Amino acid sequence: MHRLALAAGAALMLMGQAAPSDPEMRLWRLDCGTLEVSDFGPFSDTRDYDGQPRDIVDSCYLVKHGADYLLWDTGLPASLIGKPATEWVFTYRMTTTLRDQLRTIGVKPDQIRYVGISHYHDDHTGQARDFPGATLLIGAQDWEAIRTVRPQSERDRFQPWIGGGAKVEPVDKDRDVFGDGSVTILAMPGHTPGHRALLVKLPRMGNVLLSGDQFHAQESYDKGLVPAFNFDRTDTLASHDRFKGIVRSLKATVIIQHEAADVKKLPAFPKSAE
């Protein structure tokens, strides 16, 4: 019995030594610009915002998973720094770049393993081509639209991948990015045909759900509002239900990426959530 106990103890010790440790998980919020909206009306097709001006933030995120990094959305283009631009109801402003912010925390562009894009709109894709060494993760339907029907200005932002010099992995449904359930790209079509959200599981903060443009403001979330410019209203409402269901089930912290109060749920850069 004594020998058996020793053998069992040795086996447990070996198993403990061989067991892999959980990868370090961290989440940074990044400044990707601001949008001054002269009339927020188009953000509700039931006329909730008609004539109301509003300022919203444009946020991006960096996820650390062990030695790997995922950059989620790439914001407005760096060319706007010091040169605000007005288009339709929007005035776009930028004060810093993603590369400069990453440099602050010691992360080089070639360390970014993945660039994940919630959807193809300009304020989420502006600096994508600054990371040509990364594998692009994007909704399959959005990728098809970029390659075939979207404007040339949008195609230019994805030139490293369209040209074949960089790897792209279109995401057809959900995608477990690292294979351990810690970071999941979620199918949330409607805003665009291939719109996605991102679920990040942190060891201390718990589940964090980044919205993409599933919602643009807290009222949009509370009332289930649909922007007039969304691709498909029915899909949007179905994705609303799925998003809120995941929040309930996982008790997730919601980050509406254009809502300043939500972005502030995460530590101010350069600190990270863990």
Residue 179 confidence (pLDDT): 98
Residue 261 confidence (pLDDT): 98
How far, in Å, CA of 165 to CA of 203, rounded?
36
Work out the average pLDDT over 150-179.
95
| Residue-range definition of the domain harbouring residue 31 | 22-263
Residue 14 confidence (pLDDT): 35
Asked if the structure places residue 274 within a domain, the reply is no
Residue type, 132: P
Residue 247 confidence (pLDDT): 98
How far, in Å, CA of 29 to CA of 9, rounded?
45
Work out the average pLDDT over 156-162.
94
Is residue 192 within 8 Å of 120, Cβ to Cβ?
yes
CATH code of residue 56: 3.60.15.10
Is residue 188 within 8 Å of 243, Cβ to Cβ?
yes
Closest CA to 201 of 210, 189, 211, 213: 210
Q: pLDDT category, 21, cuts 50, 70, 90?
A: confident
Asked if the structure places residue 6 within a domain, the reply is no
How far, in Å, CA of 38 to CA of 52, rounded?
7
Flag whether pLDDT at 13 surpasses 70: no
Q: pLDDT category, 10, cuts 50, 70, 90?
A: very low
Work out the average pLDDT over 30-39.
98
Asked if the structure places residue 59 within a domain, the reply is yes
Q: pLDDT category, 153, cuts 50, 70, 90?
A: confident
Asked if the structure places residue 1 within a domain, the reply is no
How far, in Å, CA of 105 to CA of 127, rounded?
18
Asked if the structure places residue 140 within a domain, the reply is yes
Residues 6+ apart with CB under 8 A from 267: 29, 273
Work out the average pLDDT over 131-157.
95
Work out the average pLDDT over 132-150.
97
Flag whether pLDDT at 221 surpasses 50: yes
Query: 183-196: per-residue pLDDT in tens?
Result: 999 999 999 999 99
Residue 5 confidence (pLDDT): 41
143 or 10: which carries more pLDDT confidence? Answer: 143
**Stretch among 15-19, 65-69, 163-167, 203-207 having the lowest mean pLDDT:** 15-19
Residue 20 confidence (pLDDT): 56
Asked if the structure places residue 201 within a domain, the reply is yes
Burial class (CB in 10 A: 0-12, 13-18, 19+), 215: buried
Asked if the structure places residue 14 within a domain, the reply is no
Residue type, 93: R
Work out the average pLDDT over 14-19.
37
Strands (E) in 124-205, as ranges, are 135-139, 168-171, 175-176, 183-187, 196-202
CA distances from 244 to 145, 189, 226, 251 (A): 27, 14, 15, 10
Both tokens of 247, joined, read 């929040």
Percent of the chain residues topping a pLDDT of 70: 93
Query: 68-119: per-residue pLDDT in tens?
Result: 999 999 999 999 999 999 999 999 999 999 999 999 999 999 999 999 999 9
Work out the average pLDDT over 219-246.
98
Is the bond preceding 42 in cis, omega lying within 30 degrees of 0?
no
Number of domains in the chain: 1
Both tokens of 63, joined, read 């996820």
Asked if the structure places residue 185 within a domain, the reply is yes
CB atoms within 10 A of CB 44: 20
